[in-house]
C-alpha cells in the first residue's frame, strides 16, 4: 500500500490542436527562462509551439514543462466539462501546480496539470459537490475519492482484462480502469471532476483535506475500490452490475435509509419500487439544502430521485441507431433481462423488425437510450399504442443518478446535514471497511 503522498498527472484538455493559457505569476521553463501573462499553445507537425501574446515563438519542443514560482497559477480557457452528458459545457478554469504540454499526435496535444495528491483532492471534493456542503460530507468525499484514485492507479499497472464481450446478438461493455496514456486521470466525470482552484471557495474544503490527509478506506489489507455517484435512488448497487463480473464485500447493497429494505428481485418489484418514492436519505426536495450541496450545473437536474423520459417511437429508433451503430428497424420491445438489487439493469434486450440485441452493462445501456446518457439504468419501460395497435411512444420511469455503487453523494450530504459523522457515513455505504492513515 502507499506510504507517501504522490504527484498526480491530470489531463485538463485532451487532443486539442491549440489552446490559450494565462500565467498569473512567474513560471519557469527548463533552463531557467521565465514566462508570465498570456501564451498560446499550438500543435505543429508533431512538435509543440509556445507563442507570446504578440505571436512571437518562445519554444518549440515535443514536450514542454512549466514550473510555477510560489503562489503562481495558470488559467485555461474553454475547458469542456460533463463531456457527452446532458450538462456538457465549457468553463474557464484556474489551476496551481506544474503545467505540462505533451504532444499526443502530429496535430494534437494534451494539457496536463502535475500536482500533489492532497492539492488535487481539494479541488476534486469541491468540483464533485459544492464547497458549501457540510464538513462531515466533504471529509467522507475526500476519503472516498482518495481511495478510488489510488486503487485505479494500481489497476492501471496490472494486466488489463477485456472490458467488452461481443457476439452476434449481444454487446456487453463497461468502462472501469481508464485507458488514458501519458497521464493518470482526466479532469472530467470519466474519472473525477477536477475544476481547479476556482471551485475552492470554502474554509470547510481546506479543513476537510487537512483533517483527512492520508486517510483511506481499507478492507482486508487493501485500499478499497471506493466508487461514488450522485444519487442511488434508495438502494445502492453491487459492482458487477456496472463493471466486470466480480463483487466486493464492502460494496454490498444497502438501503439508503435508517430502515433496511429488501432489494429488487423481480420485474414486478422493480415496477413497484420505481413507481413510488420510498423514504431515503437521497430522497430530498429541500431546495436550500440542495443549493448548498450541489454545484450550480447539477442543480439543473432536480428530478434525480425519481424521473421519467418519454420518446416517440421514431425518435428513440433514431437515437439507438446513432448511439449503437445498429439499425433495429421498427422497435417492438425493450425488456430487462437482468437487474441488480437497486433496480439497475445490467442486461437489456432490444427487439426490432430488423434486429434483436442484448446490451449491457449499466453505462452502455444508459448511453444507447439517450442523446447523452439516461440518469441511470434503474428504469421500467411502458408503451403507448395508436389506434392501429402499433407502438407510438416509449416511457421510461426511473430512479437515481449514476451507477449506484458505493457512496451516494446526495444521500451522504443529507446524512451529514442531519448530524452524522464522517465515520458513520462511510460505514453506511462501505460495509465493513475501515479508515486507515497511510501517510
- How far apart are the C-alpha atoms of 63 and 233, rounded to whole Å? 45
Taking only the tens place, the pLDDT of each residue in 61-112 is 999 999 999 999 999 987 766 555 555 667 788 999 999 999 999 999 999 9
pLDDT above 60 for 2: yes
DSSP state of 160: P
- Inside any domain, residue 18: no
- How far apart are the C-alpha atoms of 81 and 69, rounded to whole Å? 28
Radius of gyration of the chain measured on its C-alpha atoms: 23
| C-alpha cell of residue 62 | 515535443
pLDDT at 178: 63
**What does the mean pLDDT of the chain come to?**
93
The per-residue DSSP string of 301-325 comes to ----SEEEEEEEHHHHHHHHHHHHS
* Residue 38 CB partners (closer than 8 Å, separation 6+): 20, 21, 22, 23, 52, 53
- Inside any domain, residue 264: yes
Segments forming the whole domain that contains residue 271: 228-404
- Inside any domain, residue 134: no
- Inside any domain, residue 377: yes
- How far apart are the C-alpha atoms of 327 and 321, rounded to whole Å? 5
Taking only the tens place, the pLDDT of each residue in 347-392 is 999 999 999 999 999 999 999 999 989 999 999 999 999 999 999 9
- Inside any domain, residue 187: no
- Number of structural domains found in the chain: 1
Label the pairing between strands 228-229 and 164-166: unpaired
User: What average pLDDT does the segment 175-193 reach?
Assistant: 80
pLDDT at 288: 93
Percent of the chain at pLDDT > 90 equals 79
- Inside any domain, residue 240: yes
Binning pLDDT at 50, 70 and 90, where does residue 418 land? Answer: very high
pLDDT at 197: 85
- Inside any domain, residue 319: yes
- Inside any domain, residue 367: yes
Amino acid at each position: 500500500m502507499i506510504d507517501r503522498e504522490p504527484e498526480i498527472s491530470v489531463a485538463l484538455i485532451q487532443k486539442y490542436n491549440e489552446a490559450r493559457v494565462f500565467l498569473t505569476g512567474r513560471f519557469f521553463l527548463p533552463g531557467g527562462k521565465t514566462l508570465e501573462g498570456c501564451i498560446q499553445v499550438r500543435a505543429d507537425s508533431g512538435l509543440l509551439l509556445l507563442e507570446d501574446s504578440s505571436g512571437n515563438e518562445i519554444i518549440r519542443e515535443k514536450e514542454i514543462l512549466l514550473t510555477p514560482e510560489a503562489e503562481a497559477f495558470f488559467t485555461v480557457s474553454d475547458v469542456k466539462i460533463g463531456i457527452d452528458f446532458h450538462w456538457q459545457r465549457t468553463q474557464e478554469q484556474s489551476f496551481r501546480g506544474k503545467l505540462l504540454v505533451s504532444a499526443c499526435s502530429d496535430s494534437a496535444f494534451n494539457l496536463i496539470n502535475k500536482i500533489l495528491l492532497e492539492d488535487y483532492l481539494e479541488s476534486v471534493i469541491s468540483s464533485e459537490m459544492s464547497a458549501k456542503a457540510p464538513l462531515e460530507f466533504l471529509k467522507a468525499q475526500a476519503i472516498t475519492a482518495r481511495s478510488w484514485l489510488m486503487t485505479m492507479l494500481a489497476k492501471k499497472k496490472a494486466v488489463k482484462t477485456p472490458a467488452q464481450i461481443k457476439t452476434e446478438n449481444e454487446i456487453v461493455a463497461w468502462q472501469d480502469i481508464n485507458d488514458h496514456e501519458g497521464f493518470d486521470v482526466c479532469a472530467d466525470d470519466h474519472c473525477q471532476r477536477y475544476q481547479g482552484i476556482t471551485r475552492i471557495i470554502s474554509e470547510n474544503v481546506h479543513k476537510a483535506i487537512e483533517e483527512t490527509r492520508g486517510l483511506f478506506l481499507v478492507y482486508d489489507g487493501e485500499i478499497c475500490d471506493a466508487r461514488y455517484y450522485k444519487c442511488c435512488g434508495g438502494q445502492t448497487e453491487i459492482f458487477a452490475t456496472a463493471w466486470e463480473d466480480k463483487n466486493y464485500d464492502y460494496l454490498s447493497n444497502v438501503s439508503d435509509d435508517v430502515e433496511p429494505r429488501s432489494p429488487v428481485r423481480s420485474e414486478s418489484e422493480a415496477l413497484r419500487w420505481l413507481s413510488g418514492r420510498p423514504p431515503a436519505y437521497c430522497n430530498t426536495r429541500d431546495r436550500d439544502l440542495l443549493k448548498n450541496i450541489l454545484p450550480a450545473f447539477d442543480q439543473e437536474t432536480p428530478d434525480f430521485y425519481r424521473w421519467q423520459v418519454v420518446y416517440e417511437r421514431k425518435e428513440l429508433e433514431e437515437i439507438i441507431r446513432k448511439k449503437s451503430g445498429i439499425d433495429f428497424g421498427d422497435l417492438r420491445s425493450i425488456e430487462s433481462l437482468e437487474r441488480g438489487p437497486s433496480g439497475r439493469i445490467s442486461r437489456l434486450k432490444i427487439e426490432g423488425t430488423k434486429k434483436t440485441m442484448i446490451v449491457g452493462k449499466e453505462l452502455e445501456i444508459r448511453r444507447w437510450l439517450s442523446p447523452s446518457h439516461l440518469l441511470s439504468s434503474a428504469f421500467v419501460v411502458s408503451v403507448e399504442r395508436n389506434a392501429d395497435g402499433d407502438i407510438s411512444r416509449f416511457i421510461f420511469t426511473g430512479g437515481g443518478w449514476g451507477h449506484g455503487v458505493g457512496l451516494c453523494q446526495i444521500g451522504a450530504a443529507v446524512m451529514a446535514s442531519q448530524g452524522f459523522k464522517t465515520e458513520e457515513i462511510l460505514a453506511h455505504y462501505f460495509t465493513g471497511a475501515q479508515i486507515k492513515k497511510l501517510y
